[in-house]
Structure 1
Amino acid sequence: MTARDDLIAIPDDLLRSGRITQAVLVHMDFKDTPRRWWTGFGDLEVAGHTWQGLGDMISISPISSAYQVSAEQVTFELAATPEMLALALAAKTRVRDRAVTIYLQLMATDGVTVAGNDIVSGQPVGSPMALYSGTMQRLPWGADGPNKRTVRLECEGLFFRRNQPPRGRWTDADQKSRYPGDRGFERLPLYAGGYETAWRG
């Protein structure tokens, strides 16, 4: 069923009642430990899955709803839990290039009766509608003192690098895939922050 068909299936009385809100559901396909989160509190049973409520422990950058092909980037601000810090440290093997999907879920805000059926406050209405599909990329983290840590997850849309040739980046991994055994880019990360080499004659 498409998102349009799912919306049409929701009773018109409920949609016009003014008692509908929305929540964001996120599926992150981490290697070995895929996670399903939503921006509320407690566990939520939707579409045959349990979504863990993170409340204000996760935030998502604005998502464009334009009807066009896009390589839009989305960034998550995540709580610096021990689990997230472990994922950040193992980002290359467990996070990078793995799928991420963001859904919109309509929910009832308080008790309402539609066509003789009581709808409980907080009950999901209809099925989740996909807002964004992409791949997870970098997972940088930082610390500002002993009590403040931040974790960000950068995601790229499905059309990211669509026009670039395979292995088209200047990275050590791409260089080795083009020329096995070549070590010319091994030290490139050392210079990414503006490192300068002093040459003496």
Structure 2
Amino acid sequence: MMDLDAAQQALFASGAVGICHLIELDIGNNTLRFTTFNADLVVGGNSYLFGGELIDVSPIKQSTDSDTQAIELSLTIANSALLAKISGNVEDYRGHEARVYLQPFDSQFRLVGPPRQYFFGEMDPVSIKRDDPGMQGGSAGGTAVLPVMRTGLSRSRNQDPLRLTDAQQKSDFPGDRGFEGLRKLLENPVLWISKRFQEYQ
């Protein structure tokens, strides 16, 4: 959960609050910064490009327990320089950090307090979705969809299939016999008698 300072708590309690997202993407040796605000923002000495580049951030849920949520960032492909950076060598960004911050501002559009980290994850390969130019033809726009998974989710997802067989388990952990009966259990499941059936007897 986010830790708001006193000014931010008072702002949220008043109901006269606006928010925008600040996005940081570590691509190659650079950090690209975007905002969902309708103008460029300078926050903490860093410049964030306005929402013409960042089209959408999928909903982010907050929870007190561990979470394996993935989100999607939608970026315009009209900017050829930006498109080149996010659709170039996938190794320049896959597995690199992406950070989403929440920045509150008041009714006069003044920033209130420092940005609060809202989501932290690792980037997956970009997919390009192009608009249909229609019957008239011509150039078509589109969006670049950048998936971001919470840190650790991609590793846990990739690790799951490594322990599905006895051979794989023994390869990683010599002498471990915990999976020796797995195939037999899967092929010959044991029929359990239900509590209701036992009560009937």
Sort the TM-score into its range (normalised by shorter chain). Answer: 0.5 to 0.7
Alignment partner of 1:137 is 2:124? yes
TM-score normalised by structure 2 residue count: 0.66
TM-score normalised by structure 1 residue count: 0.66
Shift of 1:136: 0.7
Higher share of residues assigned helix: 2
Structure 1: give runs of 5+ residues left out of the alignment.
Answer: 110-120, 169-201
Structure 2: give runs of 5+ residues left out of the alignment.
Answer: 134-138, 163-201
Shift of 1:137: 0.7
Contact kept? 2:23, 2:98, Cα under 8 Å: yes
| 2:150 alignment counterpart | 157
Aligned partner of 1:7 among 5, 10, 23: 5
Mapping for residues 58-137 of structure 1, pairs under 5 Å: 58-80=55-77, 81-109=79-107, 121-137=108-124
**In the superposition, relative to structure 1, how do residues 11 and 88 fare at CA in structure 2: closer, same or farther (>3 Å)?**
closer
Letter in 2 for 1:46: V
Which stretch has the larger CA shift, 128-137 or 141-150?
Answer: 141-150
Residue 5 of structure 2 aligns to a residue in which SS? helix
Q: How far apart, in 2, do the equivalents of 1:98 and 1:141 lie?
A: 19
Q: How far apart, in 1, do the equivalents of 2:123 and 2:13 lie?
A: 37
| 1:29 alignment counterpart | 26
Q: Calculate the aligned-residue CA RMSD, in Å.
A: 2.6
- Quick one: percent identity of the two aligned structures? 21
Equivalenced residues, count: 154
Contact kept? 1:103, 1:129, Cα under 8 Å: yes
Q: How far apart, in 2, do the equivalents of 1:138 and 1:23 lie?
A: 25
